[in-house]
Structures are given as C-alpha cells and as structure tokens.
C-alpha cells in the first residue's frame, strides 16, 4: 500500500483550514495513518527543504515554515501520492485548477496552505523526518 506525507503549513493552521484539508482527502477514500501538530525547528526545516538549499527563496521558505505550528500527516491508499498532488493543485494558487486546495485556499506561491510529497522517494524521506515507525498505524 502506498503512503505519502502531507503537511498543513502555518498559514493553513492559522486560518483554521486543517479540517477542510483532511475532509477533502478522506472524501477520496484515503486513510490517515499518522497525524501530529508541531512547530518545526530550523534544523528540521533545513532537512525537509534540503533540495532547495542555495536557491534565492530558501531562507524565506525556512522562515515561513518555522513561523508557526504545522500539522504533519501520513496518508495511505492506492495511488495516494499522485492523487493528493492533484487534490492540492499547482504550487501557485493562481495557476492551480479550480476545486483544488491551493486554488480555493492559497493566497500566494509561498502561502499555499499545504505541502505534499511528489514521489515515492520523497514520501519515504519526509515520513521518516517527521514520524517514528511506532507512530504509524497499520
């Protein structure tokens, strides 16, 4: 069974969108196997966004993701990675399809409510960054 990582970012938490994000994914038939609210440290943020290190937006990205609490989740189901990517929509809310989380709730590229893994390798890496094996339900 495929698993993926999904995070409601500080803007989504602050605006009270956690339930709406979860509801949209549950309605697609996927099963949540882990959830936690936390405040991401600078160190964890750097590991999470390591592939963007050195890019012009890296420092701003780290500053934003550590600015408030996030909700980290693991979801499971057939084709869950691609399906959640479609439910989230394009990174830029202005370019996202109508009916997607980012189009409906995002306000800018940096404040787009959610982050989700984009591949099986990224999902495994991100799940392991945020969760211990004992925190994942079968």
Q: What domain count does the chain have? A: 1
Q: Report, as ranges of residue numbers, the positions in the chain whose pLDDT lies below 50.
A: none
Residue numbers of the domain that contains 90 = 3-132
Note if 52 is an active site residue: no
Q: What is the pLDDT of residue 80?
A: 98
Residue 138: predicted pLDDT:
85
Q: Kindly report, residue by residue over 67-98, the tens digit of the pLDDT.
A: 999 999 999 999 999 999 999 999 999 999 99
Residue 138 lies in a domain: no
The catalytic position among 3, 9, 103, 115 is 115
Residue 62 has a pLDDT of: 95
Closest to 99 (Cα-Cα) out of 16, 29, 28:
28
In a domain? residue 34 = yes
pTM beyond 0.85: yes
Tell me, what CATH number does 67's domain have? 3.30.70.141
Q: What are the residues whose beta carbons fall under 8 Å from the beta carbon of 75, sequence distance 6 or more?
A: 3, 4, 6, 25, 30, 31, 32, 33, 84
**Cβ neighbour number for residue 110 with a 10 Å cutoff:** 16
């Amino acid at each position: 069974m495929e698993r993926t990582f999904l995070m409601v970012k500080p803007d989504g938490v602050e605006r009270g969108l956690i339930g709406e994000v979860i509801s949209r994914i549950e309605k697609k038939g996927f099963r949540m196997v882990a959830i936690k609210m936390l405040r991401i440290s600078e160190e964890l943020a750097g590991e999470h966004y390591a592939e963007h290190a050195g890019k012009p937006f890296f420092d701003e990205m780290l500053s934003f993701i550590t600015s408030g609490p996030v909700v980290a989740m693991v979801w499971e189901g057939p084709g869950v990675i691609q399906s959640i990517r479609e439910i989230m929509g394009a990174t830029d809310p202005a370019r996202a399809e109508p009916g997607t989380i980012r189009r409906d709730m995002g306000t800018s590229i940096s404040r787009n409510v959610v982050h989700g893994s984009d591949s099986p390798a990224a999902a495994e890496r991100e799940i392991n960054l945020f969760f211990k094996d004992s925190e994942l339900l079968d």
